[in-house]
Every structure is written in C-alpha cells, then in structure tokens.
C-alpha cells in the first residue's frame, strides 16, 4: 500500500469513528502489536476503536471495499497469534475496547447481554450483582474480553459442569465482512428457526465476522461449595476418582484439575503457592463441587473422598476449611505457568482426548517427549474432567533455552502424533490462530476442512476478516 492510499484509508476510518479513535503512531499501541508470549509481532496501518456496532459495520464495509485486512482484538491474551496483525503494515487492528456496555442482565430469563469489549471478570461481576453465576472462568479473566472468549470458544476450569463458551451463548450480534449486521441477540433457550448461525461465529476467531455483542446464559449462584486437594498415585487413579465423584455428585462437580508432581513441586519451590499436602505424590487433583442444596452437601463431598480413600483410589486429601485455603489451592493451580517461566523454556501443547484416554495419552506422550529430548521435564496439568491436558515440556536443567525452543515444532509433531492416534485434538481450548493453521490444514478431516473453506469463501469472499488465521 503506498503512502497516498494509506492516508486516504486513515482519513476514511477517521471519518467513521472519529480522529481520536484511529491511532497510527505505533508507540501508542505497541502492546497490541505483540502476542503476550512474544511469539508473534506485527505492524498495522492503524489501531481503530469503534464505539458502536454501527461503526464496526461501517469500518468493515470500508475495509472490504478497499481490501484492507481487519484483525479484531479484545484483551490480547490469546495464545495462538489470532489477534496479531501480519508484518505488512497494511492491516488494521479493530479493537473492541470501547464496546463496553453490559446492555442487560435479566435474572428471570437467566440471560445477560454484553458487548464484546466487556472483560470476563466484569461479566462475572455483573451476573453476581443479580445473584446469578456466569460460570466461564480462566486465568486471564481480568484482561480477556467476552468478544475474545466467544471468538475463540474459550474453555477454562468449569467446562465439566457448564460447557465451553459456545454452550453459554444464546445469541450473537456480529458484523459480516461486507458490513451487514447479524442481529441475533436472542434470550431464548429454544429456537429452531433455521441453521445455527450463532455457533458458527463462536470459535471462528474473527475470520467470519466481528462479534460485537452476545447474550450469555446465567445460572443460579451456588449456595454451597467444597474444594479439595488430593494426592493420587497415577492418572489412572485420578480418572477413577473422577468416576467416583461424578457418580456421587453428578453435575455438582464443577472443576477437576490434574496436576503432575513436577508442576506442583516447581510452583511450591518458586514460592508461588503453599504446598496443600504434607507428603509427596506422583499426581495431584484439585477438585471443586458446588450446589444449590447446602444441607448435606459437605457430607456428600466428604463422603465421595472417603469412599475414594477407602477404595485405595486416593492416597491423601485435604478439604479446604476456609475461603483462604480454597484460594491457596487454586493459587497453586494457577501459578503453574509462571513457575514454568522460571524454569526456562517450555514447549506447549493444548490437547484433548476422550476423558478415558487421558492416562494412555500421558503415559505415551511422557515417554516420547523424554526420549525425544533427554533431560526434558514434562509439566503436565489441566482439565482432566474434559480430557484437556496442557502437556508442557520444560527444558533440561542447564540446557540452552533457545536451542531447546528451536525444537518446538519437532516436539509438537511427536506429541500431536500420539494425540492423533487417540482421536484427540491438537487444540482443545486455545484455538488455531496462526500458530496451528498449517497443522489444521494437514490433519483435519478433509470434508470438514472443505466445508469450513466453503463457508469462509462465501461469507468473506475478499478475505478481509482476520486474514491468514485458522484457514
């Protein structure tokens, strides 16, 4: 794009959203040009902040006509490069940061309507202020936005009970590439009038349109909650504990997080969390359950753990006796990524398999990773209840970080091969973005991939919506 075209484009964008909301000087939006882990860096023609859905629509229509790529960006916490522009400097970042309205919280319908730029924490708080629960919860919740959560179909720590983001969306408002607006902010629990357009936008990572607002399901705010930290001998025992918990507590099990001893040890060693259990165990589980029925709930929760102890499924268990202790348990779980940073380079995999296959995956992948890079330390943890494991591999002690990280793709190949043999997914919750685009093209069922490409081509024929991502 030459200088004349660039300034004409900037002027046109300023005409739509106002001069103050079109930033062109890179230092003013430097943070938006880099992915949080530094894996991707981009340039941009402008950082554009529309304030209304109509402005988003006008920006899209202009960019579509001018063939300017639009990279939607919320909290910039994505882990696959989906929110980062390329290096051409010809794309714009369309920031949702001014789309901040919580348009409605309706506790009768158990629905709230949030604009894309509302942070997840703000959405949770709005629900709570109406004595309702919006259950989506993940580490980045203070920064990540609802628009990003929806665009990436975010997962997190409560999927076992409440599902992924897609399961929480009852309706959507989205701007198509050509500026048409899909008005689908339904509060309905049941609506069989045609194809499921909403689910198509959820998880499409901005490649089909810009999500500007969504209606989200709310739930009763649980009256009782119980949390335990448990030591187990193996992933197989952890799975058996999950079976006992599901059998005895059913849908009340809201989180079931598996933590390897290595992940536990480094987190404690770096002083990021207290050790919840006195002894050492090969694996740990953080289990949480919640219920509307407070009477007898603690007994039921304790009873499930006692049964597991009695059957030799569990080696040791601590039930949180206070809110402080609960937070301490969660702090350990949530500090693992930071502990990993302190241990040097880490090669990451966000994978899922059928829940029953998690032990087989962990055994095979650990052997393979250790054989591939002798001395490498597997740091596995994640959402066993959903079959989703963050299978991260820390560099050998004292090894050269850059040299270790240079083997990222090759290590991925080893681990993803095992995932594929088990019928699993190489992106359980983080999405495809730019990081896994080629992997998707290489490994996805051909007819499914063809359907995706046909949909992309018909909805965004000029390819302006988040170009180079997903497909």
| Residues numbered 53-92 forming contacts with its own copies, rule: CB under 8 A | none
Q: Which of residues 153 and 267 has its CB atom nearest to its own copies in the complex?
A: 153
Other beta carbons within 10 Å of 180 = 14
Tell me the CA distances in angstroms from 317 to 310, 331, 382, 408, one per residue in order: 12, 17, 19, 36
Give the shortest CB-273-to-its own copies separation in angstroms. 25
Asked if 321 is part of the footprint of its own copies (rule: CB under 8 A), the reply reads: no
Contacts with its own copies by CB under 8 A: the residue count is: 96
**Stretch of 294-302, 310-318, 366-374, 390-398 lying at the interface with its own copies (CB under 8 A):** 294-302
Interface residue with its own copies, options 12, 36, 106, 309 (CB under 8 A)? 106
Backbone region of residue 297 per phi and psi (left: phi > 0; alpha: psi in -120 to 50; beta: other values): alpha
Q: Is residue 203 within the footprint of its own copies (CB under 8 A)?
A: yes
**CA 175, CA 173: separation in Å to the nearest integer?**
7
Residue 116 · residue 94 · CB < 8 Å: no
By CB under 8 A, tell whether 169 contacts its own copies.
Answer: no
| Of residues 373 and 386, the one with the C-beta less far from its own copies | 386
Q: Is 311 near its own copies (CB under 8 A)?
A: no
Q: How far apart are CA 31 and CA 34, in angstroms?
A: 6
Q: Which two structure tokens, joined as six digits, stand for 246?
A: 């599901």
C-alpha separations of 251 from 154, 256, 370 in Å: 20, 12, 37
- Greatest distance between any 2 Cα atoms in the chain: 76
216, β-bridge pairs = 112, 169
User: Which residues are CB-neighbours of 421 under 8 A, at least 6 positions away?
Assistant: none
Pick from 66, 121, 128, 300: which binds its own copies (CB under 8 A)? 300
How far is 140 from 234, CA to CA, in rounded Å?
29
Based on CB atoms, which residue is closest to its own copies, 320 or 422?
422
| Residue 199 binds its own copies, judged by CB under 8 A | yes
CA-atom Rg of the chain in angstroms: 23
Is 210 a binder of its own copies (CB under 8 A)?
Answer: no
Q: Which residue in the block uniquely carries the two structure tokens 């076992």?
A: 160
Binding mask 20-49 for its own copies (x = CB under 8 A): ------------------------------
53, 91, 152, 227: residue in contact with its own copies (rule CB under 8 A) = 152
Asked if 151 interacts with its own copies (CB under 8 A), we say no
User: Based on CB atoms, which residue is closest to its own copies, 10 or 213?
Assistant: 213
- 264 vs 361, beta carbon nearer its own copies: 361
Say how many C-beta atoms besides its own lie within 10 A of residue 20's C-beta.
8
By CB under 8 A, tell whether 129 contacts its own copies: no
Instruction: Count CB neighbours of 423 within 10 A.
Output: 9
Structure tokens at 325: 């202790």
Binder of its own copies out of 114, 118, 239, 435 (CB under 8 A): 239
Secondary structure of residue 94 in the 3-state scheme: strand
Grouping H, G, I as helix, E, B as strand and the rest as coil, residue 377 is strand
From CA 396, how far away is CA 87, in angstroms rounded?
33
Q: By CB under 8 A, name the one of 42, 184, 235, 345 that touches its own copies.
A: 184
Question: Footprint of its own copies on residues 412-471 (CB under 8 A)?
Answer: 423-432, 436, 440, 444-452, 454-455, 457-459, 470-471
Q: Which of 110, 115, 257, 334 binds its own copies (CB under 8 A)?
A: 110
Q: Token match 């349109």: residue?
A: 209
**Judged by CB under 8 A, which of 16, 136, 228, 249 binds its own copies?**
249
Q: Which of 37, 67, 183, 401 binds its own copies (CB under 8 A)?
A: 183
Measure CA 47 to chain center: 24
Nearer to its own copies, 250 or 375 (CB): 250
Nearest 5°: CA angle at 284, between 280 and 287? 140
Strand ranges in 50-168 using DSSP code E only, listed in sequence order: 70-73, 92-95, 102-106, 111-115, 132-133
Q: Which of 74, 206, 222, 276 binds its own copies (CB under 8 A)?
A: 222
Site string for its own copies, 264-293 (x = CB under 8 A): ---------------------------xxx
**Shortest gap between Cβ of 78 and its own copies (angstroms)?**
11
**356 part of the interface to its own copies, by CB under 8 A:** yes
Q: Does 406 bind its own copies (CB under 8 A)?
A: no
């Amino acid at each position: 794009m030459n200088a004349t075209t660039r300034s004409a484009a900037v002027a046109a964008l300023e005409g739509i959203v106002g001069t103050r909301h079109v930033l062109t000087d890179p230092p003013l939006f430097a943070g938006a040009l880099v992915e949080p882990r530094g894996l991707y860096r981009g340039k941009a023609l402008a950082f554009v902040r529309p304030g209304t859905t109509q402005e988003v629509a006008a920006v899209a229509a202009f960019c579509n006509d001018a063939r300017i790529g639009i990279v939607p960006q919320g909290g910039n916490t994505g882990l696959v490069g989906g929110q980062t522009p390329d290096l051409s400097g010809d794309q714009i970042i369309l920031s949702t940061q001014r789309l901040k309205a919580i348009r409605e919280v309706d506790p009768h319908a158990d629905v709230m309507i949030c604009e894309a730029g509302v942070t997840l924490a703000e959405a949770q708080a709005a629900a709570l202020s109406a004595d309702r629960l919006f259950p989506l919860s993940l580490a980045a919740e203070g920064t990540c936005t609802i628009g990003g959560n929806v665009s990436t179909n975010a997962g997190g720590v409560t999927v076992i009970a409440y599902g992924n983001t897609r399961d929480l969306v009852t309706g959507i408002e989205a701007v198509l590439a050509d500026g048409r607006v899909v008005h689908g902010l339904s509060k309905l629990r049941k609506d069989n009038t045609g194809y499921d357009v909403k689910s198509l936008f959820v998880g499409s990572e901005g490649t089909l349109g810009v999500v500007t607002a969504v209606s989200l399901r709310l739930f009763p705010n649980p009256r009782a909650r119980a949390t335990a930290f448990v030591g187990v001998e193996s992933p197989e025992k952890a799975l058996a504990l999950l079976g006992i918990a599901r059998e005895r507590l059913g849908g009340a099990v809201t989180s079931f997080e598996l933590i390897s001893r290595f992940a536990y040890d480094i987190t404690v060693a770096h002083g990021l969390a207290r050790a919840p259990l006195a002894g050492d165990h090969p694996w740990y589980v953080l289990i949480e359950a919640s219920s509307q029925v407070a009477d007898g709930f603690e007994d039921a929760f304790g009873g499930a753990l006692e049964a597991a102890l009695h059957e030799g499924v569990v080696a040791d268990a601590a039930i949180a006796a206070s809110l402080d202790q609960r937070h301490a348990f969660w702090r350990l779980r949530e500090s693992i990524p930071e502990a990993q940073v302190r241990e040097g380079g880490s090669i990451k995999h966000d994978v899922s398999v059928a829940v029953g296959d998690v032990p087989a995956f962990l055994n095979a992948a650990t052997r393979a990773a250790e054989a591939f890079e002798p001395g490498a330390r597997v740091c596995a943890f994640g959402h066993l209840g959903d079959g989703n494991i963050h299978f991260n591999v820390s560099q050998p002690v004292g090894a050269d970080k850059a040299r270790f990280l240079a083997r990222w793709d090759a290590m991925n190949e080893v681990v993803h091969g095992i995932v594929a043999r088990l019928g699993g997914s190489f992106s359980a919750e983080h999405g495809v973005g730019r990081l896994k685009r080629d992997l998707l093209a290489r490994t996805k069922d051909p007819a499914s991939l063809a359907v995706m490409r046909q949909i992309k081509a018909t909805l965004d024929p000029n390819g302006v919506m988040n170009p180079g991502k997903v497909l």
